[in-house]
Amino acid sequence: MLKSLSSPVWHPFTQHLTDPVTRRITRTEGAFLYEEDGRVVLDAISSWWVITHGHRHPAIMQAIREASEHFDQIIFADYTHEPAEELARGLIGLVPPGLAHVFYSDSGSTAVEVALKMALGFFHNRGAPRSRIAVMQHSYHGDTIGTMSTGERGVFNAAYGPLLFSVDTLPFPSAGREQQTLDAFEHLCRGGDIAALLIEPLVLGAGGMRIYAPWVLAELKRIAGVHGVLFIADEVMTGWGRTGTLFACEQAGITPDILCLSKGLTGGAVPLAVTLCTPEIFEAHLSRDRSRTFFHSSSYTANAIACAAACANLEIWRTEPVAERVAALTQAHSARLERFRSDARFADIRQCGTIAVLEIAMPEGGYLSQAGPRLRTFFKDRGLLIRPLGNVIYLMTPYCVTPAELDRAYEAIDEAASQDVGALQ
Ligand code: PMP
């Protein structure tokens, strides 16, 4: 059986027996991936949500080239460097007001791990330890043991259950049932042991592209504030324009105590992550007593080339009409989703900014539903990179996508929905 596998590479989220990875990408540009045989693929999910402006934005590539003339990896204890300093200053000026410190790491998962450690360290160092984390039903925060612990339990992490720590889960605030979520949070907070609420603002990504209202986010922040519970916003996916604003928290008018960013931080070109926090959290770790140090590091902390790429990304946001592009893309999705709204083939149509979601109506939903692989192949055969979450099809393209390219994606979804529903009957 194994002899038929042609490569030693073990790919993520890939069942090698049924879905071997055979197609090779030789180049990327704009909204496209180019395969070695000349096929062109529209990257309609921004290569797992990382690419914001488009693949290989010239300014980001140039910044990488220039930084590599001076830097590679530099140990980030004892030393600092200008790309990290410049990026931190730039970020503080961009994020919701009140965040004052920037801790570097290298992936969304590590950004969230750092956030959890900051939260527990905060209470520990103040001599009033709290140890529980509240999360939302259907949430996803990464694939390390810590972040899996905070995510929805299911097929993704069933094998690792014995190692996962327990969390307190709030019901998802679906439209009309928001008060249940708020009441549940209030009740939990009264227990007194909740250190932090860890939350994906406005859109729960891997948990099914579930969208909830900004006022709920604002209320959750208010309740957290009343009870001294830290509010951690995981904007790893929602950050950098995806929800229509630079950060999703802006739509609720809130500043989280801790903010996690990655993916679009470098425009998606190279890995980098940051965890930002308030002065109170930083200061809880400031002491002549060295046991109160924030004990977290990873070898590639604040990679100078990645930081330079992120600085170039910030410059793009400052100088190019990115907000206008995001608004136009939001509008383009709204116009195209309209025709599916009363279409019985779809159980739900929803949108948050540049994220468009079409949930195919079928009896067996969920990530492992047969619809997922069938749809993926269908789209792949039409030169579209779309990876539905089970029966939930979503588009999250780079912002440079053209209306004509979007039309092509929507036409294919229309065709797929008919075929797929047909296949089930
Ligand atoms: N948080 C959220 C909300 C995410 O969507 C993801 C990744 N999709 C992560 C954390 C983990 O990021 P990474 O894959 O870079 O570790």
pLDDT at 372: 84
pLDDT band at 365, cuts 50/70/90?
low
Q: Which atom of ligand 1 lies at the shortest distance from residue 204's CA?
A: 3
> What is the residue with the minimal CA distance to atom 13 of ligand 1?
108
Q: For residues 375 and 388, what is the distance between their CA atoms, to the nearest angstrom?
A: 7
pLDDT tens-digit map of 190-245: 998 999 999 999 999 999 999 999 999 999 999 999 999 999 999 999 999 999 99
The helix/strand/coil state of 405 is helix
pLDDT tens-digit map of 49-102: 999 999 999 999 999 999 999 999 999 999 999 999 999 999 999 999 999 999
Asked whether the beta carbons of 150 and 135 are under 8 A apart, the reply is yes
Residue 360: beta bridge partners? 346
Average confidence score pLDDT of the chain: 95
| DSSP sequence for 357-384 | EEEEP-SS-STTSTHHHHHHHHHHHTTE
Q: For residues 333 and 397, what is the distance between their CA atoms, to the nearest angstrom?
A: 11
**Which of 149, 262, 396 has the most ligand 1 atoms within 8 A of CB, as the residue to mutate?**
262
pLDDT at 2: 52
Lining ligand 1 with CB less than 6 A are 107-109, 112, 140-142, 200, 205-206, 234, 236-237, 262
Q: For residues 66 and 55, what is the distance between their CA atoms, to the nearest angstrom?
A: 18
pLDDT tens-digit map of 122-175: 999 999 999 999 999 999 999 999 999 999 999 899 999 999 999 999 999 999
Q: Which domains does the chain have, with CATH numbers?
A: 2-53+321-424 (3.90.1150.10), 59-319 (3.40.640.10)
The letter for the amino acid at 330 is: T
pLDDT at 424: 46
Residue 422 has pLDDT above 90, yes or no: no
pLDDT tens-digit map of 8-33: 999 999 999 988 888 999 999 999 99
State the CB neighbour count (10 A cutoff) for residue 76: 18
Q: For residues 70 and 185, what is the distance between their CA atoms, to the nearest angstrom?
A: 49
State the CB neighbour count (10 A cutoff) for residue 370: 14
Q: For residues 57 and 101, what is the distance between their CA atoms, to the nearest angstrom?
A: 28
Q: For residues 10 and 49, what is the distance between their CA atoms, to the nearest angstrom?
A: 21
pLDDT > 70 in the chain, percent = 96
Q: Which tokens sit at 403?
A: 């209306």
SS (HEC) of 185-200: HHHHHHCCCEEEEEEC
pLDDT at 370: 74
Q: Please give the span between the terminal C-alpha atoms of the chain, in angstroms, as a whole number.
A: 33
> What is the residue with the minimal CA distance to atom 14 of ligand 1?
108
pLDDT band at 367, cuts 50/70/90?
low
pLDDT tens-digit map of 279-327: 999 999 999 999 999 999 999 999 999 999 999 999 999 999 999 999 9
